[in-house]
Structure 1
């Protein structure tokens, strides 16, 4: 009986444990199906930017402070890190050249000129340097900032000027040819860390500062030397600011928010995006091609933002909607998107460079978002109809001659042929440009070149560098002797002739040919003076007679 009671007691305890186990048993949860939804067409587009299989992410020496794409093909991009500017190929994503020798401190910003031949960069020593991209030779050194420079930007099309900003809270506008400071724009009260050039005017640009403000500058307005034409308060230290393609809107990044402002409307706030968890560090504009319902293609622009939280966000600012988000393993400092929409580059705080290139299917124009939109319900093997964004659409019938029934005949624009002196002026070879214009024997071209050299403050330098012979100095004196007495050229030629005689007097006295040109110039001027005196005497006789005749 005792054994039976003990057995019964043990059985009861076992049954109690089983009941507790059944009561508190936790079944494994099924995986969420929310993230397994079908990706949108735009997500497919942004995920298509991938590095080639044989290409690994580049790891540079230190944090990547800025990325800038060249505005012309093949759209190479410059990366600033440590005391170095590294230029990568946009096609192969490999290093093409490295510029490091003249920098003494960390390089924080870089910008290409509109023709992609020059690149300017600023460093923490306060200098702004201009380099030849092909030869990597330093061409100019702009010294004026007393603190580190974080903003260097060329205007959209202007090749002779740039603007810069630094930790001295000053924005400067430079003439690159003479290495002179044209404007000292004061208004910020803290570090100037970012800025952008207007896409519609080379005379306007914006700058952002740690004083929470973004200022709009116009160098044509005299008051811009002491204050900006517009001030916008972001509310947090501004890390980046960009113009949107229309030129009437700007986007600012500061704290964990991105804000869009209407500049034409007086700086009105349009939208605030606060999807990042940490500070937003960089912005850029990305472009995609989207197929409309009527079959036409329209360019669609997006704002790409990166943050210290490791996320890249894509904002459709026409709908105020985030269309894509991507996570990277490191804090992100910079982002850039190529003008041909084929390459996206992101820089991190530990020096890792994530460069992705989109595979273009078929010919030019067939790799847009139209590859995804409009074909989601179609099979992958279905042939697409011709669209105006496709290369074949424009190539068809190219060899056919137009008929008389055609309403419009579109002709190819003729290529502009530059004269020899214009080509030399573009290369800053001032003396050769002046000699080329003199050899052409066209006075209008010669005067135009002289006026351009005066604007660049290089005319007297060219005169002092001319060889003391008939081929160079003699050619200039002969031109001055011939056209100094012509009314339309006299003002410039007479002043220049006086300077030439003062500067090159010893060379003229030592050469018979040069003395002959000066004697002829003196004779022609004296003859012109006698003619003018005779005309004044005749005028003095005729004027009283005309007044008497008018009274009668």
Structure 2
């Protein structure tokens, strides 16, 4: 007796976004490693020098982590209140941070005690940074001022009070040691030049500014605030280049990747979005809670995200060596050796080969089809997870029933619950081009079988009415498409040049040759 052939499930192309090189690149990260901090992670910054350690600011601690360490390499806990804005110097040897107390502390990476303490702000200092010369520090505070400090003497060089609200964003130029940019809750972005003693450019963001960021060439400036990410052209006097609105909550942070300067933004809507050079979203990362901070390592090997639930999430990039190591570990397993034992043995000419029947494992709907229980097989194919996640399995069972000539029998004699499931499946998938050829026939059979049952069930009546309306709209659409196709065929036929009829004298010698030979 021939063995039972399982139902063939057709594979369909996945519907969704187009897979691009950017998508493949940003999907090539491992599952995130989560590190629990002592409070909301408000700032993450990578050292510009190898091995690219990163500093995490959370609660009353500033902690330095290695690229692959889940425990801090160094921890600074000499803060009486919340710490803010931990930032590296260009050589990665010094670290500066503000605090809720209004103090600014300077640390050596190799020590634990503050080297310098800058006093002068009257309220919390949320943002700090080194100027590119490495000898000066700039800070922004809730006392509406930003100040420049001398590292060697610990004194204040200058103070600027041009903002009218809290200063919560700051970035320093890497090309000009006298230039830095601040963003404030007064909806403005100011560009300061220390040599001129004040602001040289003011940009109107339109919302409280949470983050400012220079592109490497510093021809473009990024500002985030509200739901907007705005790009400014600094070479044209701060002209707004583009305004992006891809998040549905406040955009709190932004950073750039070293590969093609891709822009990444994080938001309170729990998403990190990646933009290409045309400022189109090419990838998105989802997280459990709202995002406060974001950073990418200079070599793009790590993506670190800080959240409001005190969790630091770190993703590492996958490498081909990792995959080879995993496959090698699998091959060394004892269960694998037992499984392949004797599989490669080739019998000799005089050997007597005894074959062993391989047990066939069938799916539940195939087992029911094997017993000719067609109605129960269709019920199994209409289970919730199959209907929503694997509709091609349900359609494959219907195709097999139609091939056997038992589809009408499987659809007949159904109660209100099973008929409701079937109608809901049709309403969702009957217009899907992958399944429409079969499901239109199924809908026709159901209407023919149950049109007399409709008055007895209000639920079935409502679903049946929706199905008939949907089929009516689909028929009208098909008729309109046929009319358009006819118009296009006529138009193409009129545009096609007519071939000239050639006389016998004008016939080609190549065409005449075989005729002469035949004669």
TM bin, normalised by shorter chain, reads 0.5 to 0.7
Counterpart for residue 74 of structure 1: 51
Partner of 1:258: 229
- Supply the RMSD in Å over aligned alpha carbons: 1.9
Q: Deviations over 1:426-484 (max 9, x none)?
A: xxxxxxxxxxxxxxxxxxxxxxxxxxxxxxxxxxxxxxxxxxxxxxxxxxxxxxxxxxx
Indicate the residue corresponding to 2:182 in structure 1. Answer: 207
| Structure 1 residues 253 and 362, CA gap change in structure 2 (3 angstroms) | same
Q: Is the 8 A contact 2:252 2:267 kept in 1?
A: yes
Q: Name the structure 2 match of 1:172.
A: 147
Q: Is the 8 A contact 1:63 1:349 kept in 2?
A: yes
Query: Residues 150-194 of structure 1: CA distance to partner in whole angstroms, max 9, x if unpaired?
Result: 1100123x2211100010110100001111110101200000001
Deviation at 1:360, TM superposition (A): 4.2
Counterpart of 1:62 in structure 2 is 39
- Secondary structure, in 3 states, of the residue corresponding to 1:287? coil
Q: Distance in 1 between matches of 2:290 and 2:24?
A: 24
1:108-139 Cα shifts (integer Å, max 9, x gaps): 21111111111011011000000111122210
Is contact 2:95-2:107 (8 Å) kept? yes
Residue 35 of structure 2 contacts residue 70 of structure 2 at CA under 8 Å; is this kept in 1? no
Verify: 1:314 aligned to 2:274, yes or no. Answer: yes
Tell me which residue corresponds to 2:203: 232
The answer on 1:104 being equivalent to 2:75 is: no
Residue 110 of structure 2 corresponds to: 134
Task: Report the 3-state secondary structure (helix = DSSP H, G, I; strand = E; otherwise coil) of the residue aligned with 2:23.
Answer: helix
Cα distance, 1:348 vs structure 2: 0.2
SS of 1:49 mapped into structure 2: coil
Three-state SS of the structure 2 residue aligned to 1:45 is: helix
- Runs of 5+ consecutive residues of structure 2 not aligned to the other structure: 1-11, 323-519
Alignment check: 8 A CA contact 1:306 1:312 kept: yes
How far the C-alpha of 1:38 sits from its partner, in A, is 5.8
- Return the offset for 1:32: 10
TM-score by length of 2: 0.58
Say if 2:226 and 2:249, in contact at 8 Å, map to a contact too: yes
Partner of 1:34: 15
Q: Residues 486-541 of structure 1: CA distance to partner in whole angstroms, max 9, x if unpaired?
A: xxxxxxxxxxxxxxxxxxxxxxxxxxxxxxxxxxxxxxxxxxxxxxxxxxxxxxxx
Quote how far apart the aligned CAs of 1:97 are.
1.5
Query: In structure 2, what is the equivalent of residue 380 of structure 1?
Result: none
Distance 1:44 1:94 in 2: 30
Equivalent-residue separation in structure 2 for 1:168 and 1:218 (angstroms): 20
* 1:326 equivalent in alignment to 2:258: no
Q: How far does residue 271 in structure 1 lie from its aligned partner after superposition?
A: 0.6
Residue deviations 1:46-90 (CA, integer Å, cap 9, x gap): 1222258xxx41111210010011110111000001110011101
Aligned-partner Cα distance in 2 for 1:43–1:329: 21
Detail structure 1 runs of 4+ shifted over 4 Å in the superposition.
360-363
SS in structure 1 at match of 2:139 = strand
Q: Does 1:153 align with 2:114?
A: no
Secondary structure of the structure 1 residue equivalent to 2:87: strand
Taking the TM superposition and a 5 Å limit, the aligned residue runs for 1:116-135 are 116-135=92-111
- The partner residue of 2:295 within 313, 324, 336 is 336
2:249 to 269, 278, 293: 278
Aligned residues: 312
CA distance in 2, matches of 1:132, 1:106: 20
Shift in Å at residue 94 of structure 1? 3.7
1:361 is displaced (CA, Å) by 4.5
Aligned to 2:451: none
